Structure 1
Amino acid sequence: MTPSGAASRRTRWRRWLFVALLIVPIVEIATIIGVGKVIGGWPTVLLLLLESALGAWLVRREGARTWRALSTALQTGRMPSRELADAALVLIGGTLLVTPGFVTDIVGFFFILPVTRPLTRGFLERAVAARFLATPMRPGPGGGSTVEGSVIDR
């Protein structure tokens, strides 16, 4: 990978982060105001507090379950790729649940709930594979592909 490619990717991530930090609060405030107009101010605050409490309980439960699965995978000598993905999703989902608002809570619950986490895990695995496994290959002898490398004999 060229240094300019890494710098371009870093710039793109910064741009996306800036847009997210600008748009997400606006969307959250608009959603909270909209819900408040429909059900009232105090019920909206109560609903946000209820979501936070439910989210904290769920993060604690799913975090413990994910930690046990990760420990079991490591003790049995199995590669814990699924468990690591689940741990990352629970961490991200928990962070989103701590952020006040309905939209981030919905996304956070989607990341944490055991029913929807496999869908999110599949997306995460495809994104990681596209990012890290997209090694440029060149045609090798006999039409196959080869990857540059070296053998170190110790």
Structure 2
Amino acid sequence: MVQLRWLVLGLIALPFLEFATFFWVAGQIGFFGAFFGVLLTSFLGIMLLKGGAKLLFSQVMRSGGIVLVSGDAARSGMLTAFAGLLLAIPGFVTDIIALVLLIPAIGGLLSGRALTPAQRPTPPGVVDLEPADWREERRPPPTDPRLNPPGPG
């Protein structure tokens, strides 16, 4: 119940925060610059939403109406759609939140997919050894005269 109260208060405060931020940005770069910035980010948000919808629609058409999506892909898609929605809403505060959501590491953290270094999959062709299983060796430079021509003198 307490979290719902904070959510409602945040939604009520958001327009006031957006207006204050817009006027501050307009004071820094000018009214028309701020206005076109809001228009541009709203346009980018709509394009992001349309792109995701086109991708989903093409998958539905290709598979005959059934799309199976992994849990990670669904969470990632939902975060991207939410970021697109936030970008489409006019205002700089929602734009900043959306851009933060589009950062892959933060998206992974929010969706529960963040991997620690020990959990990350090893790339193909790489053998991952424990520190006790290897040591660094220094080799002398090659003595082949073709590789190291003699110096003058």
**Above 0.5 in TM-score?**
yes
Shorter-chain TM-score bucket reads 0.5 to 0.7
Pick the structure with greater CA Rg. 2
Task: Answer yes or no: is the 8 Å Cα contact 2:41–2:88 preserved in 1.
Answer: no
- State which of 11, 18, 23 in structure 2 corresponds to 1:21: 11
State yes or no: 1:125 paired with 2:112.
yes
Q: Which has the higher contact order (CA 8 A, sep 6+)?
A: 2
| Structure 2 residue corresponding to 1:42, chosen from 18, 32, 37 | 32
Preserved contact between residue 89 and residue 117 of structure 1 (Cα < 8 Å) = no
Gaps of 5+ in 1: 1-10, 127-154
Give the number of the structure whose residues are more often helix, by fraction.
1
1:4-153 equivalence runs, <5 A = 11-65=1-55, 80-111=70-101, 113=102, 116-125=103-112
Contact in 1 for aligned 2:25/2:34 (Cα 8 Å): yes
Shift in alpha-carbon separation, 1:68–1:87, aligned structure 2, 3 A: farther
Q: CA shift at 1:64, angstroms? A: 4.3
Distance 1:44 1:69 in 2: 38
C-alpha distance in 2, partners of 1:95/1:12?
Answer: 26
What do you get for the CA RMSD once the two structures are aligned? 3.0
Name the CA shift for 1:50/1:106 in 2 (closer, same or farther; >3 Å): same
Letter of the 1:47 counterpart: G
TM-score (ref. length: structure 2) = 0.58
Identity %: 27
Deviations 1:33-87 (A, max 9, x none): 0011112212211111111112222333345457778999xx897x711111012
Long gaps (5+) in structure 2: 114-153
In the alignment of these two chains, the number of paired residues is 111
